[in-house]
Amino acid sequence: MSESTPERAHALLLLRGMLLIRRFEEKAAELYQAGKIRGFLHLYIGQEAVAVGAMQALTPDDAIVATYRDHGHALARGMPAGAVMAEMYGKANGCSRGRGGSMHLFDASRRFFGGYAIVGGGLPIAVGLALADKMRGDARVTACFFGEGAVAEGEFHECMNLARLWDLPVLFLCENNLYAMGTALERSESVPDLRAKSAAYAIPAETIDGMDVSAVEAATRSAAEAVRAGGGPRLLEFETYRFRGHSMADPELYRPKDEVARWKEHDPIAGFIKLGREVGTLSDAGLQVIERAVATEIAEAVAFAEAGPWEPLEDLTSFVTSEPGR
Amino acid sequence: MTAMTYREAIRSALRDALRTDERTFLMGEDVGRYGGAFAVSHGLLEEFGPERVRDTPLSESAFVGAGIGAAINGMRPIVEVMTVNFSMLAMDQVLNNAATLRYMSGGQLNIPLVVRMATGGGRQLGAQHSHSLEGWYAHIPGIVVLSPATVADARGMLLAALQHPDPVFFFEHATLYGVEDDIDEHAGPADISHAAVRRGGKDVTLVAYGGSVRKTLAAAEELARQGIDTEVIDLRVLRPLDMETVLASVKKTHRAVVVDEAWRTGSLSAEISARIMEGCFDALDWPVERVCGAEVPAPYAKHMEDASLPQVPVIVETVQEMFA
């Protein structure tokens, strides 16, 4: 493949997107250990192909709803790494002005409608976003990311039902990383097959290798187009794995080390690099260029966060409601 | 002026909103074909069609949350939940999303959502349809809580709620739906920042809201016959509380009674009592008294339910004792 084909450019864009998340998360873990980031920190390492692949299928007019493990989605949507990092620092130049933190990233200008930290709690929001689009006749898609743990929640079932009943343009994107915190899917579901649940609501579903960014992108494109064309909701299940604990506080007693090691052999980034080398889209020099650019972007993000001001305490109650002082 | 019921006044506000603002729509359980559990939305499906008067499945969390999502995305949804007890199923969406999204996003999101529901006891509907949980809602920063006690307010406050940029929870006391009054059917939005003095007086301040206002006014008439001149304040807005109106009255009368059919413990009545103490302790000639609902799940039998709710004689006796 030649140097300048669109395919090559796109492959490099995917790789850069995934590497940005990986290195950002590694840096975040380091900053957490250093006490710069506090609260909960849920790393996305291992799942990068899902956010990066899926986001390719969405237009700037589409809406995104994510979970508390939302750094990857925010970055893949194009939110500036500095605004995300500053939010994790709790600074006023963070994307949520220090009021949200790692679990609650927002960027209304990019229609990134937030990280939701009550499992399943973002699904009704996604249904409502889609309802508004449908009522206005806008050909938009609402992409709703959630983990497989959410399918045990009533809100999942209520929302699947409502989305189908009203034929809403929602794309349900389930990241099945096998564990709801420490509870494996088969230990919490009488029917662990997610497609069977989707079938119960007559919502077409497909299971995709979530470690393969190209497969994620292709499946999401096709599903998003079906949704956009007015076909009603779709569900995609991405089989993936988080390489790190649930949060930084996780001793990982619930999963065997060899299972983690096995999944790491399917590292979405290493696999994509290997493939790129095989087909000739990626050279060592090309990889270095990307790594350097990503390192620069993250260094700048950290600098932006470090330099950011703290929100003045006089503004503690700003944004509780639209009227100041209420 | 037109004679209409509290129910019709709400319907008239809904109709005005649906006619004048294409972003507005109504959704909830049985709001369409059934005409509303309390017949509030009767006829609206025929006038506005199923897109804008939407029957929902029995899934409070999904449709309240969908209201939030639609509001974020440029619509002005009105969600009807049949009763406050059912709204507990949507509390995740109320507390964790409606009340937080504006703050958590650093002011990026507005949620112009109105959620209406019936509340309160007095209809022998037992312990899962009769409670008065407005105080729980009023506990939550980030939302507005309204409780119209009159026919005019039912219309005017709902119209105002529909112009508010934040989530408004609108509590309709179920014993008021049939109450009739002459109101201006073309009146615009009412004030939703202030309490209202429903009866002027100099001896004691009675503070009430929702379904307790009528009972408190009846008690005031009885007390007037006995020579006690009461001032009756209808709170109207339960969050944010208009304490200025309450404190101004108590500074004048030096005595206060809070009438609230909700449970006493950890309640709005406790909050108002505390704020009177904080705001004008020196003006008080008597401890703040409270007439509240009995601390029982709402009983079914009429004599027991009556005994569990504030009634006119109890309000009268409570005030009499302050002057004994």
Where do the domains of chain B lie?
2-183, 196-322
> Which residue from A135, A154, A162 is facing B25, i.e. has the nearest CB?
A135
Q: Searching chain A, which residue's CA lies closest to the CA of residue B110?
A: A322
Q: d(Cα A128, Cα A169) in Å, to the nearest integer?
A: 10
| Per-residue pLDDT at A27 | 98
Angle between helix axes A154-165 and A122-136 (nearest 10 degrees) is 10
Pairwise CB contact (< 8 Å): B75 & A135:
yes
Local confidence band at A3 (pLDDT 50, 70, 90 cut-offs): low
Bridge-based pairing state of the strands B180-183 and B168-173: unpaired
- The phi, psi pair for B52, rounded to 5°, reads -105, -10
Instruction: Report the residue from B54, B66, B110 with minimal CB separation from A124.
Output: B66
CB-based contact A128 B66, cutoff 8 Å? yes
Report helix, strand or coil for B74. Answer: coil
Residues of B in contact with A104 (CB under 8 A): 104-105
Residue carrying the six token digits 């959630």:
A146
Three-state secondary-structure class, residue A297: helix
Which residues contact residue A93 at a Cβ distance below 8 angstroms, ignoring those fewer than 6 apart?
A: A82, A83, A86, A304, A305, A308, A309
Mean pLDDT by 10 residues, chain B (324 residues): 97 98 98 95 98 98 98 98 96 98 97 98 94 97 98 98 98 98 96 98 98 98 98 98 98 98 97 98 98 97 97 98 93
* Residue A324 pLDDT level (bands cut at 50, 70, 90): low
Residue A234 domain-assigned?
Answer: yes
* CB-closest option in B51, B54, B93 to A124: B93
How many domains, in total, are found in chain A?
A: 1
Q: Does B61 sit within 8 Å of A126, measured CB to CB? A: no
pLDDT band at A4 (very low <50, low <70, confident <90, very high): confident
Cβ contact B166–A322 (<8 Å): yes
Q: Hey, are the CB atoms on B70 and A128 less than 8 Å from each other?
A: yes
Of the candidates A249, A311, A257, which has an alpha carbon nearest to the alpha carbon of residue A42? Answer: A249
| CA distance to A127, A281, B258, per residue, from B248 (Å) | 46, 77, 15
Q: Write out pLDDT tens, residues A174-185.
A: 999 999 999 999
Whole-Å CA distances, B47 to B16, B52, B179: 12, 10, 25
Query: In Å, how far is B61's CA from the nearest CA of chain A?
Result: 7
Query: How many angstroms away from the CA of B100 is the closest CA of chain A?
Result: 7
Q: Identify whether A324 is part of a domain.
A: no
Q: Between the CA of residue A239 and those of A48, A78, A209, A269, B4, what are the distances in Å?
A: 12, 24, 5, 15, 60
> Would you state the pLDDT for residue B324?
86
Are residues A158 and B59, on separate chains, in Cβ contact within 8 Å?
yes
Distance, in Å, from the CA atom of A129 to the CA atom of A140, rounded to the nearest integer, reads: 10
Residue pair B98/B113 in contact by the 8 Å Cβ criterion? yes
A28 occurs within a structural domain: yes
- A325 pLDDT above the threshold of 90: no
Do B62 and A95 make contact, defined as CB atoms within 8 angstroms? no
Q: Which domain holds residue A290?
A: 6-315
Closest approach of chain B CAs to the CA of A150, in angstroms? 14
Measure in Å the smallest separation between the Cα of A326 and chain B Cα atoms.
6
Q: A40, A51, A44: which is closest to A24 by C-alpha? A: A44
Give A87's contacts (C-beta < 8 A, 6+ positions apart). A94, A95, A96, A98, A100, A101, A102, A105
Alpha helices in chain B (DSSP H): 6-20, 44-48, 60-72, 84-87, 91, 101-104, 134-138, 151-161, 212-225, 243-253, 268-280, 302-308, 312-322
Domains B2-183 and B196-322 share a fold: yes
| Gap from B159 CA to chain A (nearest CA, Å) | 18
**Residue A248's pLDDT band (cuts 50, 70, 90):** confident
For B106, the closest of A99, A126, A133 (CB atoms) is A99
Give this prediction's pTM. Answer: 0.96
pLDDT of residue A267 exceeding 90, the answer is: yes
Dihedral sign from CA coordinates of B289, B291, B294, B298: negative
pLDDT digits (tens, 9 = 90+) for A299-312: 999 999 999 999 99
Largest interatomic CA distance in chain B:
61
* Residue B182 per-residue DSSP state: E
For chain B, list residues whose CB is within 8 angstroms of any CB belonging to chain A: 25, 51, 54, 56-57, 59, 61-75, 77, 92-93, 96-97, 101-110, 141-144, 164-166, 240
Candidate from A104, A128, A320 with C-beta closest to B67: A128
Question: Which one, of B101, B53, B100, lies nearest residue B77 by Cα?
Answer: B53
- Between A100, A127, A132, which is nearest B62 by CB? A127
Which CATH code, of 3.50.50.60, 3.40.50.300, 3.40.50.150, 3.40.50.970, is assigned to B2-183?
A: 3.40.50.970
| Catalytic site positions of B | 60, 129
CB A209 within 8 A of CB A239: yes
Residues contacting residue A255 through CB under 8 Å, at least 6 positions apart: A178, A179, A182, A184
The shortest C-alpha distance from B313 to chain A (Å) reads 37
pLDDT score for A9? 93
Contacts of B57 in chain A (CB under 8 A): 158, 161-162, 165
* E strand intervals along A15-134: 63-67, 112-116
Count how many Cα atoms sit within 13 Å of the Cα of residue A3 in the half-sphere of its side chain: 2
| Contact between chains at A127 and B69 (C-beta distance less than 8 A) | yes
Please report, for residues A38, A218, A260, B231, B266, the alpha-carbon distance to residue B202 in angstroms, rounded to integers and kept in the order given.
56, 76, 76, 6, 29
Q: Do A124 and B69 touch (CB under 8 A)?
A: yes
The answer to whether the CB atoms of B166 and A321 lie below 8 A apart is yes
Residue pair B78/A82 in contact (Cβ under 8 Å)? The answer is no
The CATH number assigned to the domain holding A49 equals 3.40.50.970
Question: What is the architecture, at CATH level 2, of domain B196-322?
Answer: 3-Layer(aba) Sandwich (3.40)
Position A54: which residue type? A
Minimum CA–CA partner of B167 in chain A: A321
In this structure, the strands spanning A179-180 and A183-184 are: antiparallel
Q: Residue for token digits 């809580």?
A: B145
